[in-house]
A = this chain, B = another copy of it.
Amino acid sequence: MAQKEAQQRRPSIHDVASHAGVSAATVSKVLSGVTTVKPENAQRVLDAVELLGYRVDPLASDMRRAKRRIIGAIMPEFESEFFGQMVSELEGLAEQRGYTLVAASSRESEAREKEILARMHDWRVAGVVLAPVRNEHGPAAAFMKANGMTGVLIDRVLADDAFDTVSADSAAASAEVARALVGMGHRHVLVVGLGEQAATVRARLEGFRRTALELAPDIRIDVVLCESDVGPLRALLHDYFSKGTERPTAVYSLFLKGTLVALSEFRRRGWHCPNDISLVGFDDAEWMQVTWPAIAAVVQPVREIATNAMEVLFRRIEGEGGPPTARLEPCKVLMRESVGSPGSVPHSGGGDRQ
């Protein structure tokens, strides 16, 4: 037999009503916690609900309401630990308030990002958490603005004049990385990154540069940056090291993919961290503490970002006014074995134990 036929018609609110001998309106009241119902009737409703296994149809319910209890989340991708954790956190937070999270991935495309947003608008979502592909000036944010949608911008954004923003404090973290590297004696650092249009990537670069130059005015900072995909970056980095310029003593990657590309390039050349070159990357990942050497990384406060984003989003949904806020959450910097003093012997021991 086809599964299709097994699809039972679920009991509706009217079924419950007739079983309880009341009207649908009363059932609705009981279920939404209105107290003006005679206790006896309320009980009969509850019994009928139990008996029939009735559950409200959230879509039908939202239909009649002003706002639908759906939150949209748009992430550049689902494949990385960072955005995976983010979706997971947002999901839990939305659930806590009785909302459903509908997540979609823009696949690093601004065109797709806008399309998804339009679809979310079609769904009449109550609010959107948008992690833009580039920054706050993309077509998606413009669309949200134009259509009066409520939303929060996270991650690749620092501040906006129309929406609240929440992201990691990239500049501060980069400054800390700079302090660490300069403190260890590095005077020639390569900064490598993807997405030069991303506000945060620029903040990461500038945060590093400013502090490094402050502490060591003679420091040499090379920069290999490209927009778009990881492929070109790989080529650029290869060229950089092939040019025969003096080899930097450390590489600071502003992006997870950059860290991978850097490692890959080191492999190809047979360089080992930290003897031949040091490496720190923005974005931590589980594997970074089990490899040898363990890779130093800036840990973004995913949970804090998610929590604050949802908090401010729900305040807006509930109609709170006021100018947009811009939050920056502090990162943690984990200096692991991939970083050492230039020209020194590697230090021994494991990565961070847990």
Q: Considering the complex, give the chain B residue whose CB is closest to the CB of A102.
A: B102
CA distance A260 to B354 in the complex (A): 13
CA distance A237 to B17 in the complex (A): 58
Give the chain B neighbours of A6 by CB distance below 8 A: 148
Task: Say yes or no: B105 contacts A91, CB within 8 Å.
Answer: yes
Check if A93 is an interface residue, CB within 8 A of chain B. no
Check if A11 is an interface residue, CB within 8 A of chain B. no
CA distance A272 to B272 in the complex (A): 14
Query: Chain A binding site: helix, strand, loop or mixed by DSSP?
Result: mixed
Task: Say yes or no: A122 contacts B58, CB within 8 Å.
Answer: yes
Check if A8 is an interface residue, CB within 8 A of chain B. yes
Contact check: which of B63, B68, B78 meets A88 at CB < 8 Å?
Answer: B78
Q: Contacts A57-B122, A57-B124, A316-B4 given: A79-B68 contact, CB under 8 Å?
A: no
Q: List 23 A-B contacts (CB under 8 A).
A: A2-B316, A4-B150, A4-B317, A8-B148, A10-B121, A10-B124, A56-B122, A57-B122, A59-B62, A59-B123, A63-B63, A78-B84, A78-B91, A79-B88, A80-B84, A87-B105, A263-B287, A264-B290, A267-B294, A267-B350, A268-B353, A272-B292, A291-B292
CA distance A227 to B234 in the complex (A): 41
Q: Contacts A4-B150, A147-B8, A267-B292 given: A88-B59 contact, CB under 8 Å?
A: no
Give A contacts to B, CB under 8 Å.
1-4, 6-8, 10, 55-60, 62-63, 68, 77-81, 83-85, 87-88, 91, 100-105, 107, 118-119, 121-124, 147-150, 260, 263-264, 267-268, 272, 285-292, 294, 316-317, 319-321, 350-351, 353
Task: Say yes or no: B290 contacts A148, CB within 8 Å.
Answer: no
**Given A4-B317, A7-B149, A78-B78, list of 17 further CB < 8 A pairs?**
A3-B150, A4-B316, A7-B148, A57-B123, A59-B59, A59-B68, A63-B63, A78-B84, A78-B88, A80-B81, A80-B84, A83-B84, A87-B103, A87-B105, A100-B123, A260-B287, A285-B287
